Amino acid sequence: MKQLLYVSLFSIFLTAFTVHKFNSRDLTQMVATLPKLDSIELQRQLESDIHKLSGIQFIETSLMSKTLVMNYDAKKTSAKKVDQVLQKWGCESGKSSFRAIAKK
């Protein structure tokens, strides 16, 4: 009976550790220039489609600076998927930069 208790406790701790490991607390911030971002309608469509991707925490675009700022969980989505959405709307990214940030 004592062994069953130890096995059960070990299983619970192992499960808790595994679940915590897959719950990413780290985010990646992407900042990209979008030279072809020239209308409010395109801006809304891009933000809407990108926001539908898994793992997107924050997205904002600017018509004035023609930039995209986005925070995402790299375990759930990738910059390649974002590029696919940009290409869908004919708005390929120019220069891009990435940095790791911690989720609060």
Q: What's the whole-model pTM score?
A: 0.71
User: 95: Cβ–Cβ under 8 A, 6 or more apart, which residues?
Assistant: 32, 33
Q: Along the 104 residues of the chain, how does pLDDT read in single tens digits?
A: 666 555 454 555 545 544 444 455 689 999 999 999 999 999 999 999 999 999 999 999 999 999 999 999 999 999 899 999 999 999 888 899 999 997 65
| Contact status, residue 3 vs residue 78, Cβ threshold 8 Å | no
| Cα 57 from chain centroid (whole Å) | 6
d(C-alpha 71, C-alpha 13), whole Å: 31
Q: What is the pLDDT of residue 3?
A: 65
